[in-house]
Structure 1
Amino acid sequence: MIAKRPGMGAALGLAVGVGLGAWLAGGAPRPMHAGGGDRSGESILATGPVAVRYDEGTKVQIPEEALYYLDYKAGRLRATIPSFRATAAGSTRHLDAFCERDLVADFQLDVDNGPKPRFLMTTGQLGTMGTGWAPLFVIETMSGKAAVYRVQQVFGVRNQIRLDLLQVRSVEPDEPTTTAASGLPGLPATR
């Protein structure tokens, strides 16, 4: 007499399904990336990594993010690097002062005689070349120019946040590029 084991087919089906699922997923778990961004009227908000620091106490790498605010009615790009700090009064502080860029000057826009500027903004990834930071890309759609920015914290007597313009170029393929570091067409930025 042959006895049937209930569930043997289900167990085999489960094993095949798990194996197939792992194969389709690439076998290795993928890291999650969270990016924040929002738009309201003529304002854009975005976040992006600026550095990775090592916490000696917890022995863990901690990514630091920047908060970017673009107000294109005023033609201003502002940025800060949020951090957690306890104050002497016993409360906490998360935001420091914002640094600022004048987008009209950066993009060389003629707002008196030209069309009203329209901006798009997002952060990008440089992979292993980024060493923990991500560029901020801003595109002005009326002039067809794109700019790359980098925010960084400058440590000293008084810690400050700086927002540097790295490059501005036309999105048209035949237009020459200019860089903030050299100011000359076609030369790469030296950083």
Structure 2
Amino acid sequence: MLSRSRRRLPNLAVLLVGLLMGWGMSSLRPASLHAGGGDRSGESIVATGPILVRYDETNKIQVPTEALYLLDYRSGRLVATVPALHQTGATSKYFGAFAERDLVSDFKLDLDTGPKPHFLMTTGSLGTYTSGWAPLYVFETSTGQVALYRVKEQTTGTTVSTQLELLETRSLVKAEKPEAGAAEKPQPPR
């Protein structure tokens, strides 16, 4: 009887170690992977990002709607469209209307006297309170500015139009500090 209880003890220890290892490994999940499409070629940048997540009642699933963005350095243009299946009779089209922004105007750039613009572009995420839309961030690195854009679709009857809204621009350049030898203006007491 003694030899039988000695055999159970190692089996019980192995079982407990296995359970503890399984519990520990199940709580160490890798971070979820999120990626957005984007590429650069010469003086053009392409990116994609969601603009809306709707719920499909028939299939009981969430369906994201994506925008396709193209930024062209030479023309200083940003164009966007929302690809989706549009059928009229026997004809199928996937590209909707294109919306366009003039980046030279949006960033208030002077191409005659200012530096040559250099743009970077990416989509981001603002969390769960945005109905699934991803902002488009456009950076102009020669002047140190960033702009935030949003794509919207509007349907009027059978016509679908795309709008590319500029939500905000901001300078990334810090304000210059007064020189060390310069006298500071005294502040009145409060």
Give the aligned partner of residue 185 of structure 2: none
1:85-139 residue CA offsets vs partner (Å, 9 max, x unmatched): 33422x5322112111000111111112222110001111111232221111101
Amino acid at match of 2:102: D
The runs of 5 or more residues in structure 1 that have no matched partner are: 176-191
Alignment of 1:137 with 2:141, yes or no, is no
Within the alignment, does 1:20 sit opposite 2:24 as a pair?
Answer: yes
> In 2, Cα distance between the equivalents of 1:98 and 1:10?
64
CA distance in structure 2 between the aligned counterparts of 1:124 and 1:105, rounded to whole angstroms: 23
CA RMSD, 1 decimal: 2.5
Q: Which stretches in structure 2 are left out of the alignment for 5+ residues?
A: 177-190
> Match for 2:65: what amino acid?
E
Between Structure 1 and Structure 2, which shows a larger proportion of helix residues? Answer: 2
**CA distance 1:46–1:13, change in 2 (3 Å):** farther
- In the other structure, the counterpart of 1:122 is 122
State the shift of 1:142 in Å.
0.5
Larger radius of gyration, structure 1 or 2? 2
| CA distance in 1 between partners of 2:83 and 2:18 (Å) | 46
- Aligned amino acid, residue 19 of structure 1: W
Matched with 2:73 is 72
Separation of aligned partners in 2, 1:159 and 1:56: 22
> Are 2:96 and 2:160, in contact at CA under 8 Å, matched by a contact in 1?
no
Q: Deviations over 1:3-59 (max 9, x none)?
A: 969xx6887665444322222228xxx654331111111111111111111223212
What secondary structure, in the 3-state scheme, does the structure 2 residue paired with 1:21 have? helix
2:96 maps to a residue whose letter is: D
Distance 1:41 1:160 in 2: 30
- Whichever residue aligns with residue 23 of structure 1, its letter is S
The residue that corresponds to 1:37 in the other structure is 38
C-alpha distance in structure 1 between counterparts of 2:18 and 2:36, whole Å? 35
Partner of 1:156: 156
Q: Which has the higher contact order (CA 8 A, sep 6+)?
A: 2
Whichever residue aligns with residue 59 of structure 1, its letter is K
Structure 1 residues 148 and 13 mapped into 2: Cα distance closer, same or farther (>3 Å)?
Answer: same
Equivalent residue letter for 2:25: G
Count how many residue pairs are aligned between Structure 1 and Structure 2.
170
